[in-house]
Amino acid sequence: MAAAGKRHDAAEELLCITTIGERWSWALNTLPQRLIEQAVRESELAQLGPARMEVLQILYDLRWRHSDGSEPSRWWLHLSLNLLEHNQRAEALAVAAHITDPYALIAVQVDNRYKGIAKSEFVERDILKAAKKELERRQAAARQAPRDLSRIVQVAWGLIRLRRYDDVLQLTDPVLQGKQAATPESAPYEDLQQEFPWVLEVRAIALTALGRYDEAVAVVRLACQQSKDDLVSHSLDLASLLAALNRPQEALAAIPPLERASVYGRAVAAKVQVMIASELGDAAGLAAALADLRAHAQDYPLIRESALIIAGKEDEAVATLLARLADPALRADALVELQDYAERPAPARTSAWRERQKALRDRPEVRQAVAAYGRIRSYELPGVMF
């Protein structure tokens, strides 16, 4: 299992989990959780349908949870659909009752394939209520592990979902103060070095929503300076923010070397290059960035589609969206992204990209596809594309 994880061999990872689960089910709870999470994530990208569903069923039978006690809602979303498609409605309902993430619950409501469970009394239908309950769970988890900074980060993300931006600042203020006063012997959190840059990232999102752009940029710059393990991620986030603020030259300078970047990181970098070239009016640079995007973002259709919208490639963006809606493995995510959301305040560039996305959704061919596969509803949560 460990060797397969290092090689990112999704099929072998699943085989290992299945074998351990069938022979020594108790041992799955002793494996490092990151190995389980990596295997399930990579098997989704590899579209290893039946083998992945077998593993998800094993994990569900164990009532497996993430280290912070949260339900793996996305896994249960996929497993419940598989059970429905095999005419196991009672089993699908039992699994769906464990879906707690608001966006996974939105998928249940807007994807026609979930009609068999969407109206069950055991599946939460009030999405705002679900978001509040999820925040309460995260707050309780943080209280139970006061030296675990990652749980503070999760609380902050829960506040972002509810658009409580001032509360994010209040939550993270003591962390910043504690970091300044901390020594290796007196650090207030066991994972301070690893998680502090992510505290800065979520704080920057709140500052951006509050229109405090210069502070947001400064905070993400600090995240880059403080990061050792995730420098590529933070640097790309900085470049993306600067591009959205119409500061393309600074954004270009912020893009890090990509030798050690993951496939996902390269896809994000290609999108940032599209943003920069679009802002600069650089036709040759835009063509090169789009070529990189098509080469590196095949497994990340949300990144590809949003970059095409930014580039003004509406027809290609629509074709990408229609392909996602037609693909059973990608359909639920595409439908979730198309809903009407109470967007958080954003820079003018981001607002313009959102309007382009809405215009694409209103095209006749997209409306026809949505009507065939699901529906559009309104929610009080932030959107998931821009």
| CATH code (residue 187) | 1.25.40
Q: Are residues 151 and 216 in the same domain?
A: yes
Q: Is the pLDDT of residue 315 over 80?
A: yes
- pLDDT, one tens digit per residue, over 209-235 is 999 999 999 999 999 999 988 899 999
Domain end marker among 197, 229, 261: 229
Q: Is the pLDDT of residue 178 over 90?
A: no
| Token pair of 283 as six digits | 């036709």
> Is residue 360 assigned to a domain?
yes
Q: Are residues 325 and 340 in the same domain?
A: yes
Domain end marker among 229, 263, 282: 229
Q: Any idea which residue has 């809405």 for tokens?
A: 358
> Is residue 89 assigned to a domain?
yes
- pLDDT, one tens digit per residue, over 346-378 is 999 999 999 999 999 999 999 999 999 999 999
Q: Is the pLDDT of residue 296 over 90?
A: no
Q: Is the pLDDT of residue 84 over 90?
A: yes
> Is residue 235 assigned to a domain?
no
Q: Are residues 203 and 266 in the same domain?
A: no
Q: Are residues 255 and 362 in the same domain?
A: yes
> Is residue 324 assigned to a domain?
yes
- pLDDT, one tens digit per residue, over 109-148 is 999 999 999 999 999 999 999 999 999 999 999 999 999 9
Q: Are residues 43 and 152 in the same domain?
A: no
> Is residue 385 assigned to a domain?
no
Q: Are residues 134 and 120 in the same domain?
A: no
Q: Are residues 150 and 173 in the same domain?
A: yes
User: Which pLDDT score, from 0 to 100, does residue 179 have?
Assistant: 81
Compute how many other C-beta atoms are within 10 angstroms of the C-beta atom of residue 278. 20
Name the domain count of the chain. 3
Q: Which domain holds residue 76?
A: 2-125
Q: Are residues 12 and 116 in the same domain?
A: yes
Q: Are residues 213 and 269 in the same domain?
A: no
Q: Are residues 131 and 182 in the same domain?
A: yes
Domain end marker among 125, 157, 185: 125
Predicted TM-score of the model (pTM): 0.94
